[in-house]
């Protein structure tokens, strides 16, 4: 469980908050001029670095105000909390050598040539085999729809994330 320090109320349990995604995502200057693909990328595509990430949080069970944090995505450690509208603090100087926060941009998704190739291919979804049962005798390659709750005749009970998953 995370202990998040609201800049207005002080430290509180993470259950009092709602995660609002990546912080500092600029709104397009002229959204009407964007293609459907560019608009979709603005709405849905976010950085997913290994290391420090600026995030927005809403204190839903407290002051109901938005604020930003800098959180390490590997350790969940929050290194900075600051109000919306304030500039992002420089936390790289605080990172110990060898930590994810101290890695060069080449180690992060935007700097990784393989990640750039995947991003430019337009294929960001998981592959179908990640969500289907293994092939067995008499079933089509890649499994059947019986284990897929979204498919006709699918069973939610057999889906690996239907029970006990705390996403």
> Which domains occur in the chain, in start order?
3-108 (3.30.2270.10)
| φ, ψ dihedrals at 71, nearest 5° | -125, 140
Residues paired with residue 22 on neighbouring β-strands, in sequence order: 55
Q: How far apart are CA 13 and CA 28, in angstroms?
A: 34
Q: How far apart are CA 35 and CA 102, in angstroms?
A: 36
Spatial CB neighbours of 83, under 8 Å, sequence gap ≥ 6: 7, 67, 68
Give the count of beta carbons closer than 10 Å to the beta carbon of residue 17.
19
Chain-centroid distance of CA 33 in Å reads 27
pTM confidence score = 0.55
pLDDT of the chain, 167 residues: tens digit per residue: 889 999 999 999 999 999 999 999 999 999 999 999 999 999 999 999 999 999 999 999 999 999 999 999 999 999 999 999 999 998 764 444 444 444 434 343 444 444 444 444 444 443 333 344 444 455 454 444 444 445 455 444 444 444 444 44
């Amino acid at each position: 469980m995370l202990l998040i320090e609201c800049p207005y109320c002080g430290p509180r349990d993470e259950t009092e908050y709602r995660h609002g995604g990546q912080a500092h995502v600029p709104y397009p200057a002229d959204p009407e001029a964007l293609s459907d693909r560019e608009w979709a990328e603005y709405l849905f595509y976010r950085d997913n670095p290994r290391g420090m990430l600026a995030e927005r949080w809403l204190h839903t069970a407290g002051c109901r105000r938005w604020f930003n944090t800098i959180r390490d995505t590997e350790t969940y450690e929050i290194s900075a909390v600051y109000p919306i509208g304030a500039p992002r603090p420089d936390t790289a100087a605080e990172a110990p050598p060898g930590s994810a926060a101290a890695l060069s941009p080449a180690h992060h998704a935007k700097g990784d040539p393989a990640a750039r190739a995947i991003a430019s291919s337009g294929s960001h979804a998981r592959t179908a085999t990640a969500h289907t049962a293994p092939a067995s005798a008499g079933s089509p390659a890649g499994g059947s729809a019986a284990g897929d709750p979204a498919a006709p005749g699918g069973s939610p009970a057999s889906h690996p994330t239907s029970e006990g998953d705390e996403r």
